Every structure is written in structure tokens, then in C-alpha cells.
Amino acid sequence: MIHVCFGLNDKNGTYSKFTGTTMASIFENTTSNVTIHILHDDTLTLDNREKFSYLAGQYNQRVKFYNVDELCADKIETIKRLFPLTVHSRLTIASMYRLFIPQLFSEDIKKIIYLDSDIIVNLDLNEMWRI
């Protein structure tokens, strides 16, 4: 099982399509089973969650959702206070979600590939996973 993680803030409702495109490119090109872990906040709509789940199901893969606003509320507030530009710049708070990976995932997940949502994976992730 390959574990892939994304951080997602979709305040305008238009960014989830990029995450979906990256997920589809992973599923199309990776021969192993993949679990997608999406670290998100309250901007991820139920409709987009369902689309991600449907997409993963079409490839017999899995997707899990982690609401970082709920799971790490105190730490998110600290980041917003220490790095106010994450609230008012092109850089979103979701770019900081990767910092929470060790605390959000169970110890049975020994490694995870973190990817940005604006890429296309055109090779099998097995090679990266083995590194």
C-alpha cells in the first residue's frame, strides 16, 4: 500500500478539481494499491468529498479525509498568529498542513508521499515509494 497525502484549502471552491486531477493521474499510472489522505479544513465541501470518494472507488483505491481545523485547532491558530501571511497571501494555510502528518497518522503508516495538488503524475509511484 502506497500512502499519498495532500493539503487542501478550497476557499473559492475551485481548487478541488486540481487535487482530483492529480489523484486520477496517480491512479492511472500506479500499479499498487494507493490510499489518498486529504488534509483539509472547512472549505472542502461535501460535494467535493463525494467526488473524491467516487474517483477513488472507480479505481478500487481509497481516500481518507482529515479535517485539520478540528483535529489541530490550537496549532492552526498558532500558525495563523505566527505567520499571518498564510491567511492573506497566495500561500494558503493548507501548505502548513504537512507539518501535522506525524501527529495525524497512526504509527502503522511508516511513510507517506506528500504531493502538491497542482501536478500530474506520469510515472508509477512505486519507484518513488521504494526510495
Tell me the per-residue pLDDT of 101-127, one tens digit each, with 9 for 90 and over. 888 888 889 899 999 888 999 999 998
Q: Tell me, what DSSP letter sits at residue 98?
A: G
| Residue bearing the bigger pLDDT, 85 or 54 | 54
Structural domains in the chain (count): 1
Closest among 11, 5, 3 to 97, alpha carbons compared: 5
CA atoms within 13 A on the CB side of 114: 13
- Tell me phi and psi for residue 35, to 5 degrees: -115, 125
Q: Which residues span the domain enclosing 61?
A: 2-130
Give the whole-number percent of the chain exceeding pLDDT 90. Answer: 54
For the entire predicted model, the pTM comes to 0.85
Q: Does 29 score more than 70 pLDDT?
A: yes
CA angle 41–21–111, rounded 5-degree value: 65
Task: Check which CATH number belongs to the domain holding 114 and give it.
Answer: 3.90.550.10
- 3-state SS, residue 66: strand
pLDDT at residue 44, rounded to an integer: 93
**In the numeric block, which cell numbers belong to residue 130?**
521504494
Q: What's the chain's average pLDDT?
A: 87
**Sheet arrangement for strand 34-40:** 62-67, 34-40, 2-8, 113-114
- Please write the tens of the pLDDT for every residue from 50-82: 999 999 999 999 999 999 888 777 777 777 777
Q: Which of 116, 72, 120 is nearest to 95 (CA)?
A: 116
Q: For the chain, how many residues are written?
A: 131
